[in-house]
Structure 1
């Protein structure tokens, strides 16, 4: 029984090309290496003695750089090819990480963070286009899911490694290791993966769809981006307001909060690929799955309104995790399938920008509501935003059907 279950699980990982596995490996190395991120606000506050307001502005510069990088990465991927953008982005951001530790002034850090994130986040849309190029058409959604698993595993390993490095080498060591991981991962990529033009089947499939040539005229895609923005905004509460709530309302330690986040990561690792494989076998419409995921994400905040039992935190994490598994792999795939020939980079740029914008808006909105009206008000607002996203999803399905 156990052997059969294990065999079925392993079967979900068959059929990927060699290039996809190498892309997955470098994504894992790169994400595990981004150990500066969880400690960035701590480093700015405690090591550089900046005020909370100054830290906030540096994080805004960080988010704006991420948005510009996503847009540039997508646009340039269409112009000069995803391969060159990926190599430039990772290699240059690795070098910049070595130097940013020597910047100690507020304005210098604002400019430094903006530049480094502009260069670093050019990688994401280019990587999405590369996945579409190196994977078979029937494996495209599963390839995106495989890379998401690498991202999740990398994020799980990164903070623990980062903590050990800070204890032994200080914050300076963190920047050296992070920069080195970027350069090592892209060297592995250039040695093992050769540049390839966009796959013929992607061009054929996308050229057959009667979609406006300019992404700015594609109304369906903009409505879809709104759904992505709201769901990402809800998801990022997991890393901003929820850990604070765990401690302030129920007295959970950092370790206990970490265990709840680990539950999220473990469920994704074991269940996301089987769920994606099952939906593909049954040929379930992607927008319908995204709709159910959005509803679950919304419910994850409404259950927190019942604040008399700490067990509701586990139920909330389960809802948000299954919502994430239903939304993110299929939204990646929908965005890519929507792009006409030659515009894949632009489409994936706007798609990744919606997440960068959600990252900025999520913490700012959540913390402002909590500061003025308390946690309960924030959970109600987030849950209601989720319901607005569900309604948008239903409208989106109707528009696609009509088209």
Structure 2
């Protein structure tokens, strides 16, 4: 019986093209190699002796570079093609990582972080557009899920490997390994995958009117708000929640790590089967995103019960399931919404919503906690999740109006 269950699980990984598997491999190599990032604030504070304020500004430059890179990556994907953007982004950011270790001044690092994230995050919208070219239409969401699994596995392996490198040869080793992984990953991609023109696959559930510009697409902007909100409350996982574990319940770093591992394990075990199920049943993407946003919001409402540590586990399960529902399907909705030739612009704004959420999540969450306490922050984040869910219902009504004959 166990063998049959394992076989059914493996069946969810069938039907992908060779290019999707190679894209998954280079994503894993790249994400596992991105080991500077978890230690960046620690490196800036302890090795370069910057103040907390200076570290904060460097991280702001990091976030702004990420937003600009996302926009440029999408714009250029429409102009010159996703393939060239992906190759340029990973190769140039890999070389820049080698250089970054020699920059130690405050303004130099602000400019350096802004520049490297501009180069590095051009990759993300281009990679999303590439899924439309290399994935079969019926496998698009599963293909994204496969790439997301590679990202999660890479992020799980990267910090552990990074810690060993720091212990062995110091922080400088991180920059060499990180840069090298970018170059190796894109060389594998360039050697094994040929450039292919994007073919547009419109989703029958989201047939759209002709849109003159992405900036005039009302439905898409409401959807971007949903993406921003779900990302913002999800990023609390890495900012406010670890502090709450320690201050409210006295959990050690190891115990907090175990809760984070629970998130990773749930994603690894459940995301592909759940996505496959919804695709087979042809469930409307907005309906899945609605339940995802609702569950992410509810995960923070459960934290209002602050006298039993077991609620931390329950909350983590809800936010993990919410992530599984919301993120893969929001990506495919964004792609299916894009008119032919505008995919890059749409995916640029989609990835920018995550970059902006990353910047605002910690500032907003920690600011609320400082002024009003943890309970107020959990209530605000939970309510934002509910608002995002109702916005999904609003989008659904607007789509129905679009499809009605004039």
TM (norm. structure 2) is 0.97
Partner of 2:401: 402
Are the aligned partners of 1:74 and 1:346 in contact in 2 as well (CA < 8 Å)?
yes
Query: SS state of the match for residue 127, structure 2?
Result: helix
Distance change >3 Å, CA 203–CA 224, structure 1 → 2: closer
**Structure 1: any 5+ residue segments left out of the alignment?**
none
Partner of 1:155: 155
Deviation at 1:402, TM superposition (A): 1.9
Deviation at 1:203, TM superposition (A): 7.4
Deviation at 1:207, TM superposition (A): 12
Partner of 1:276: 275
**Partner Cα distance (1:248, 1:174) in 2:** 31
Partner of 1:55: 55
Are the aligned partners of 2:289 and 2:325 in contact in 1 as well (CA < 8 Å)?
yes
Distance change >3 Å, CA 125–CA 24, structure 1 → 2: same
**Structure 2: any 5+ residue segments left out of the alignment?**
none
Distance change >3 Å, CA 118–CA 56, structure 1 → 2: same
**Partner Cα distance (1:203, 1:245) in 2:** 44
Partner of 2:366: 367
Partner of 1:315: 314
Partner of 1:173: 173
Are the aligned partners of 1:207 and 1:341 in contact in 2 as well (CA < 8 Å)?
no
1:121 aligns with 2:108: no
RMSD over aligned Cα, in angstroms? 1.4
**Partner Cα distance (2:321, 2:203) in 1:** 33
Are the aligned partners of 1:299 and 1:383 in contact in 2 as well (CA < 8 Å)?
yes
Partner of 1:74: 74
**Partner Cα distance (1:102, 1:216) in 2:** 41
Partner of 1:195: 195
1:159-203 deviation line (CA, Å, top 9, x unaligned) = 11111111111000011100000000000000100111112x537
Partner of 1:303: 302
Are the aligned partners of 1:335 and 1:351 in contact in 2 as well (CA < 8 Å)?
yes
Larger mean CA deviation between 372-381 and 58-67 belongs to 372-381
Deviation at 1:211, TM superposition (A): 3.4
Are the aligned partners of 1:60 and 1:360 in contact in 2 as well (CA < 8 Å)?
yes
**Partner Cα distance (1:345, 1:127) in 2:** 10
Are the aligned partners of 2:203 and 2:336 in contact in 1 as well (CA < 8 Å)?
no
**Partner Cα distance (1:345, 1:221) in 2:** 14
Larger mean CA deviation between 258-267 and 386-395 belongs to 386-395
**Partner Cα distance (1:264, 1:106) in 2:** 35
Partner of 2:64: 64
Are the aligned partners of 1:236 and 1:359 in contact in 2 as well (CA < 8 Å)?
yes
1:255-287 deviation line (CA, Å, top 9, x unaligned) = 111110111001111100000110111111110
Partner of 2:239: 240
Query: SS state of the match for residue 64, structure 1?
Result: helix
Task: Map 1:89-238; keep pairs closer than 5 Å.
Answer: 89-199=89-199, 202=201, 209-238=208-237
**Partner Cα distance (2:369, 2:124) in 1:** 32
